[in-house]
A and B are shown apart, each in its own frame.
Chain A
Amino acid sequence: MPTYLLRRLGQSVLTVFLTLTAVFLLVRLAPGDPAAAYAAPTASAEELVRIRGQFGLDRPLLVQYGIYLRDLVSGDLGTSYSFHSPAFDVVMDRLPYTITLAVSAIAVTVLVAVPLGVWMARRADTRRELGANILTITGQSMPDFWTGVMLLTGFAVVIPVLPASGFTSWGGLVLPTITVAILQFALVSRLVRREMTTALAAPYTTVARSRGVAERALVWRYALGNSAVPLVTAVGTRFAALLNGVVVVEVVFAWPGVGSLVVRALETRDYPLIQATVLITASLAILVQLLVDLLYPLLDPRVRLGKAA
């Protein structure tokens, strides 16, 4: 187990390192000049040269990369060109908002989609199941921009019960959470439905039922317990994706998360900010995946981490 953990941590570090290297190179290969984006439109060529020097962009790419890695090791993620502040601080200003939204959206998804999936499995191939399926798929098919604006118009203007934007009260979390969660309902509920249908038809369920195990325990402990591994994998993956920000939802609800931050950083060619955002969100996403992996033996005793099947 410790060996497995160490190996996974090593893999995670390598993944983050490769991601950072790719981002470092790609942003510099993309068209655009951070100095031009930073300076006034009337900036002279001389001024642009000075700004490039100020940002260290006048040095060879390999030297820039070396400096970046050296600073990274000492915990310096650089200074954002557009915010004129340490890039790490700028990301950390926004990250709590992203985590808040991701946690609440995943919580709502699990609370709604898991019971819904179970309900659909127990009513597999009925008209009611078909109706639920249509509803969730409709939710998934609606563009999040449209869903967000409709919810805003409905609950902030027509029936003004919730805030329209930002995080001025806890009510401000409701609409963005629902908008994000609606997109996840179909995926999670259909996955639960599929796993539960298989589990409920499995021989061990028949045996348990014949031994008089209550239907409630049969469904929620036996069948759902056995469906937990794919469910946790799917939820963990969605959660990790949400940590990278939900740009459209953030824009619609003026939610100050990292998704809209990285878009702005890309527009202004703010290399340190792009790199810092990627580093922090990628690390978090990888950490979540690692935790999901560590949960497997708890959910299924047959799983032995680090050993081939």
Chain B
Amino acid sequence: MTSDAALDPYTPGISRRGLLRWGALGGGSLALGGPLAACAGPTGLPGPGTLTLGLTRSLVSLDNKLNQFDAAVTVQRAVRQALTTLGPGLKPRLVLADRFEMTEPTAWTVRLRKGVRYADGSPVTVEDVDTALRMYGKVNGSFLLGLFPELPEVEKTADARTFRLRTERPVPILDRLMANIHITPADANKPEELQSGLGSGPYRVARANSGAGEYTLARNPRYWGPKPPLETVRVRYVPEESSRVVALRSGELDVVDTLSPDAAEQLTGLPGVSLERGDGVRVCQLFYNFRKPKNHPLSDPRVRQALAYAIDGEALLRDVLADSASPLRGVVPTNLDGAVETGSFTHDPARARALLRRHGADNLRLTFMWESGEFAGDASVMEAVADMLGDVGVRVTLKQFQPGGDILKWRQGRGGDWDVIGNGFPSPTGLALTCLQGMYAGTAEKERTREAFMGYVFPKIADGIEEASVEVDDAERQRKLAAVQKAIWDTWPALWGFVPKTLLARRGRVRDVGLLPTNSYDLTAVHLEG
């Protein structure tokens, strides 16, 4: 049978234009259809038992080998746990271990808590601790690793739950240091930041999009401890502060942390929003460059002291930092365990001018540098300080670096000459000792590879810190630490310093956040009302 159409010479077949049309449509559908089909749909609105956190930085992993910023710790610890943790007052508290004590100067005896298990029900073992320590030890560029004078070795004992952590030299702060080593099943642990895997914490990962920094944590039904009050915790990355503030005000976010003074001011007094603040453990200093030639005025501690008199710290804290920081009264934050007050910065410009003249440094020209975002209001602080120094005849050139730039090279004295750097240094262990070791324990040997912090090399001070670090007697260690801090203060390492407060805003329905000085908190304590 033949159709009429087929016989009709005027009925178009597949025309060139038709082919083109269908080809273009097909191509277009292929090009856009695929991605559109994969388009992320909405992630869903939070339920009444859901706490939503808005983080300032993207949480790329729930492992802390490399990615360890304050708020990240809060979330990471809800999934993966350590043998210990830092609790209120920055005191160590047992978590996976029910015993953690120094039984020899170079050995700590640890016993795993009975019944501790991962989210899949498998038990936490000594092998997991051993593997975790080795994996952390193999990671390049880790900040945590720098806190350990040496990584302990695991020595097994006859009891399957008990082991010893052995070091070559005494490490009397090991219970605090181990709070940073998160335990993962040995066969799943790798010397890199883990993107997936199990933890023993009260929450397990229900959904994760590490690229977008979004996670949904659900209550771990096999959690070995008390059932956590929250059903779900949602973690979102909201980089822009004004957006975080709006999202908190609208109730979309429940908790936002690491607020700037401006944001805190906007949120103060708003109905349904509460602020929590406390002293932090990060010290921010305008640190001198200690790599200056001996005949340079800044190599003279009297000149460094004279310059410090030019700075009106109170005005900076009040007017520039809007009371979001406390004055620095030592060489490390004084709320750290082992920290002591060593003095304070006094504003006396007349004295600054006179002393500078007396020491032949009345016509100084200095270069200040810092990286954007090193601390809240960094540029304003630096400009104000430059202005104050101008009042005593010191001319300052400001040099600001963008994140990712070459600042490390400059810090290490490889980028060029500078005089003062705006720098923040954290102490996630809650100890003065680790802060002192990181900043003031420079030696000539370290300086050869430019590892001494800003070139700060004072052999007596380095020796004093070293002695304190291996002192197993608590009282004696505190005494040694106090003496060394006083000695550091007398070297006038910084032009000025302050301790930023931890600042967190929460919706009224969120209770018992218990913000720690480390700017993190225990999610198992948090509960929602209403």
Contacts and interface: CB of A to CB of B under 8 A. Distances in A.
Given A40-B146, A165-B243, A253-B243, A160 B250 contact: yes
A208 interface: no
A32 B406 contact: yes
A100 B37 CA distance: 10
A236 to B, nearest CB: 11
Interface in A37-85: 37-48, 50-51, 54, 82-85
A254 B237 contact: yes
Interface of B: 16-17, 19-21, 23-24, 27-28, 31-32, 35-36, 38-46, 54, 58, 60-61, 66, 140-143, 146, 192-193, 195, 209-214, 236-240, 242-244, 246-247, 249-253, 402-409, 411-412, 438, 449-451, 453
Interface in A69-116: 82-85, 89-97, 99-100, 103
Given A99-B39, A167-B40, 17 more contacts: A1-B16, A32-B404, A33-B406, A36-B406, A38-B141, A41-B408, A45-B450, A45-B451, A47-B141, A94-B212, A165-B252, A166-B43, A269-B404, A287-B31, A291-B28, A297-B20, A298-B24
Interface stretch (A17-25, A121-129, A149-157, A191-199): A149-157
Interface stretch (A136-144, A209-217, A220-228, A258-266): A258-266
Chain B interface, >50% SS class: loop
A163 B251 CA distance: 9
Contact of A100 (B16, B21, B24, B40): B40
B149 to A, nearest CB: 13
Contact of B449 (A40, A44, A157, A294): A44
A294 B406 contact: no
Contacts of A170: 42
A1 to B, nearest CB: 7
A298 B24 CA distance: 9
B257 to A, nearest CB: 15
A160 B23 CA distance: 46
A223 to B, nearest CB: 22
Q: How large is the interface on A (under 10, 10 to 19, 20 to 34, 35 or more residues)?
A: 35 or more
A82 B66 CA distance: 9
A203 interface: no
Contacts of B46: 168
Nearest to A85: B195
Interface string A229-267: 000000000000000000000011110100011001011
Contact of A261 (B209, B211, B238, B451): B211
A35 interface: yes
Contacts of B140: 39, 47, 50-51, 54
B405 A31 contact: yes
Given A46-B449, A82-B60, A167 B42 contact: yes
Contacts of B211: 83, 85, 89-94, 256, 261
A96 B38 contact: yes
Closest 10 pairs (CB-CB, A-B): A93-B211, A39-B141, A40-B143, A256-B212, A36-B408, A254-B238, A164-B247, A96-B39, A267-B404, A96-B40
21 contacts: A33-B408, A36-B407, A37-B404, A39-B140, A44-B451, A47-B140, A83-B61, A89-B211, A103-B32, A103-B36, A149-B242, A152-B246, A153-B246, A156-B247, A160-B250, A164-B252, A169-B42, A256-B213, A256-B237, A266-B404, A291-B31
Given A31-B406, A251-B239, A168 B35 contact: no
Contacts of A260: 239
Contacts, number: 197
Interface in A265-303: 266-269, 284, 287-288, 291, 294-295, 297-298, 301
Chain A interface, >50% SS class: helix
Contacts of A166: 43, 214, 236, 238, 252
B27 A291 contact: yes
B249 A157 contact: yes
Contacts of B244: 165
Contacts of B251: 160
A95 B35 contact: yes
Contacts of A266: 404
B60 A294 contact: no
Q: Which of B195, B250, B451 has the most CB of A within 10 A?
A: B250
Contacts of B409: 33, 36
Nearest to B374: A41
A90 B24 CA distance: 30
A32 B214 CA distance: 28
Contact of B21 (A160, A253, A298): A298
B246 A157 contact: yes
Contacts of B253: 165
A252 B45 contact: no
B246 A164 contact: yes
Contacts of A99: 32, 35-36, 39
A94 B412 CA distance: 36
Contacts of B214: 166, 256
A157 B453 CA distance: 46
B485 to A, nearest CB: 20
B24 A152 contact: no
Contacts of A54: 140
